Amino acid sequence: MNHSTSAKDWSASLYLKFEKERSRPSRDLLAQVPLDNPHRVVDLGCGPGNSTAILRDRYPAATLSGIDSSPDMLNKARATLPSIPFHQADLTTYHPTDAVDLFFSNAVFQWLPESDRIPTIKRLLQSQAPGAVFALQVPDNFHEPSHAAMRETAETGPWAATLRPLQPARGLMPSPQVLYDALKPLCAHVDLWHSHYYHVLQDHGAVVEWVKGTGLRPFIDPLSEGQRREFLEVYLGKLRQLYPRSVDGRVILRYPRLFVVATRA
């Protein structure tokens, strides 16, 4: 994770409540990486190491490392994968010390300020040799009901004045067209696609637990304990109106993601 605007650290345990679902996009992204034997692989925003483990399994002979801005995430990654070096770093200022054959990024770039996203990708791509790959995946759910309800709850509750000046300016991810036009001058090939995941969760409370580990954090971290509890109650009520229960009582959370695999020219 890379979220320098948050004063609080990430929670690896909360993030890993849905480890299987959160790891699946990493596998789907890696399946499209056209490299058989990369020498050096860096997991950008490695989180608790779940994506790093997938990279290790695919490329056991590679020199593999991970970077993240969260101490808690890094502690979990180091405990899980003690043989792999993990370093604390901010993506906007990170510079590799050696040539990297594969930069791999799972659900990180959405946390960077919008003005830093494409410049950071291009800067890292420019450090790579011809044939090297930059692969990334990001949630693309700004307009999903779950995320629209976060913003609506923040704007209409008694905490609105507290949250308004603190909310980071995170809007939509760049469109596939914008990404392609920005990256293609540096690349021999740019592959882009969307996938819509449908996560079958236990109930509406499980939807709250899912987003508490990621997208909901900027809204609840600045609040007092009492306000946080009230915010979550209001938000849960909105989710109950927006998401129907399935025949078995479960709730389906649609989760769009954008994928990019860029091969350096």
pLDDT tens column, 206-249: 999 999 878 888 899 999 999 999 999 999 999 999 999 999 99
Q: Is residue 4 part of a domain?
A: no
* Whole-prediction pTM: 0.90
Q: Is residue 198 part of a domain?
A: yes
**pLDDT tier, 5 (very low <50, low <70, confident <90, very high otherwise):** very low
Task: Please state the rounded mean pLDDT for residues 78-98.
Answer: 96
Task: Say which residue, 136 or 1, is predicted with more confidence.
Answer: 136
Work out the percent of the chain whose per-residue pLDDT is above 70: 91
Q: Is residue 110 part of a domain?
A: yes
Instruction: Work out how many domains the chain is built from and give that number.
Output: 1
Work out the percent of the chain whose per-residue pLDDT is above 90: 79
264 SS3 class: strand
Answer yes or no: is pLDDT of 111 > 60.
yes
Domain span including residue 83: 9-264
Tens-digit pLDDT profile for residues 172-204: 789 999 999 999 999 999 999 999 999 999 999
135 SS3 class: strand
Question: What DSSP string describes 77-133?
Answer: HHHH-TTS-EEE--TTT---SS--SEEEEES-GGGS-HHHHHHHHHHHHHTSPTT-E
DSSP-assigned beta bridge partners for residue 190: 262
**pLDDT tier, 17 (very low <50, low <70, confident <90, very high otherwise):** low
Answer yes or no: is pLDDT of 166 > 90.
no
CATH value at residue 95? 3.40.50.150
Q: Is residue 2 part of a domain?
A: no
Q: Is residue 117 part of a domain?
A: yes
Q: Is residue 3 part of a domain?
A: no
Enter the tokens of residue 135: 């692969």
Tens-digit pLDDT profile for residues 21-73: 878 999 999 999 999 999 999 999 999 999 999 999 999 999 999 999 999 88
Gyration radius of the chain over CA positions: 19
Question: What sections of the chain are H helices per DSSP?
Answer: 12-15, 19-30, 50-58, 71-80, 114-126, 145-156, 160-163, 176-183, 204-212, 217-220, 225-242
